[in-house]
Chain A
Amino acid sequence: MIPPKSAMRIGCAALLALLVPTDPARAGETLAAVAANFTEAAKEIGTAFADATGHTVSYSFGPTGQIYTQITQGAPFELFLAADQARPERAEAEGYAVPGARFTYAVGQLVLWSPDPARVAGRDALAAPDLTHIAIANPRTAPYGAAAVEVMRALGVYDALAPKLVEGKSISQAHQFVATGNAEVGFVALSQIVGHDAGSRWAVPQEMYTPIRQDAVLLAAGADSAAAKAYLAFLQGPEARAIIARYGYGTGD
């Protein structure tokens, strides 16, 4: 047992250590707002980034539209890893982002998925008569939702299936609807199910929907942050790209 007095002293010392920056030039910190679908990959990239550069990154995860709204209202994010291209483009055009630094860091892959191993053998799963609900992300805000609608239109089944569609506010919620069995199938991101072998899936061919390019930008708040710039560089490097591919994304070019 440590006596209370020395415990107090240790605590104070620890607090002081937190307050005094060790080496400001080397160990910077940056805050990135990241689209919810990239959560797991981003965490792993964050660890690799810290190991490789000594900088640290903190994340705020959320739906891209919400993040964008927060950025316009002065949120202190230095980096923006969106789930689409539209919002980063807009951030650039409206002066919230540093121009010229935008690039595609990941390309999303759409999958029709069910936790039931027997349900999805291919596109015919959408025609199953006992299907009551199909989960998609909100097609007006989430690129994966818009892509799902595109695919159903391409298959000529959208009008027939429209009454069965349930919308999650994000692709995470669409996945949750399916994972809990409330919807039998759903259009989700490959990245959400890439670690699980359970269930059945149909990888939607890329030519059936507009590529889901996810762009990253340096925001105005991070214009002078060495850590933020280092993160963007790291994100385009081979180590990060390997992680991104492992999590079920294409890596653009």
Chain B
Amino acid sequence: MAEGALLDAAMIETIMLTLKLATVTTVVLLLVGTPLAWWLARSRGLWKDVVATVVALPIVLPPTVLGFYLLIAMGPDSPLTALLGRKLSFTFEGLVVGSVVYSLPFVVNPIRNAFEAMGPRPMEVAATLRASPLDAFFTVALPLALPGLFTGAILGFAHTVGEFGVVLMIGGGIPGVTKVLSVTIFDYVETLQWAKAHILAGGMLAMSFVVILAMMLAERRLKKARR
């Protein structure tokens, strides 16, 4: 490492890649997770419980289980590969898919809770005011659930930054493509480059602390403003 420079080029590359992965994953998660959370909050019956269970699975399953199945699912003989016409393993897109699955409950659950806390009243009032369901969703439900969306986005982002097992199993550690922060730190620890490991690991620790603290403070402020 150059004298005075805290980060070398490889470290900057891995940081930028990780931020890109977390950003793309969070956007996809909000787009997929919000309708899913809405459906889970509003519907009844067995199907809802089954789907909610599937969404929650990544919380309890070890990343090796998810990584193993994702690796199989992205392999040459899988229906997914046939559908896409190419393998997803060892690609950035593959990591996004893996991260979306892995972080899904962390985004869906807070949004779902926000929708449930809102109760049926606001949507009923909107309907009596002749708002179409879609209109009411965007002008009433979504703004009311904003704290939940906010929490979900932050948790999804932070969880993706912190992901290790899944990216290790489907990524292949390609610099600039799939070699994210957690894998790079693992590499440094393995090769006894503890100074570099300390810089990245310490940075992640500080960032995670700031993100979670900021989230809690912002959430409280949002709730207060609502009252």
Contact = CB atoms under 8 A, between A and B. Distances in A.
Asked whether A and B interact, the reply is: yes
B75 interface: yes
Most buried by B among A68, A167, A177: A167
Interface size class of B (residues with CB under 8 A): 20 to 34
A166 B172 contact: yes
Interface in A152-170: 165-169
B168 interface: yes
Contacts of B190: 63, 65-66, 69, 138, 140-141, 169
B173 A180 contact: no
A176 B71 contact: yes
A186 to B, nearest CB: 11
Contact of A181 (B77, B168, B169, B172): B77
A79 interface: no
Contact of A166 (B72, B76, B174, B189): B174
Interface string B70-102: 011011110000000001011000000000000
B13 interface: no
Main secondary structure of the interface of B (DSSP, over half): loop
A182 B187 CA distance: 22
B192 interface: yes
Contacts of B168: 169, 173
A141 B71 contact: no
A65 B191 contact: yes
Given A167-B172, A169-B186, A182 B191 contact: no
Interface residues of A, number: 23
A133 B71 contact: no
A2 to B, nearest CB: 35
A132 interface: yes
B17 to A, nearest CB: 15
B97 to A, nearest CB: 14
Contacts of A135: 172
29 contacts: A63-B190, A65-B191, A65-B192, A68-B192, A69-B189, A69-B192, A132-B87, A133-B87, A133-B89, A138-B173, A140-B187, A140-B190, A141-B187, A141-B190, A166-B90, A166-B174, A167-B172, A167-B174, A168-B172, A169-B168, A173-B168, A177-B71, A177-B89, A182-B71, A182-B75, A182-B76, A182-B170, A183-B90, A183-B172
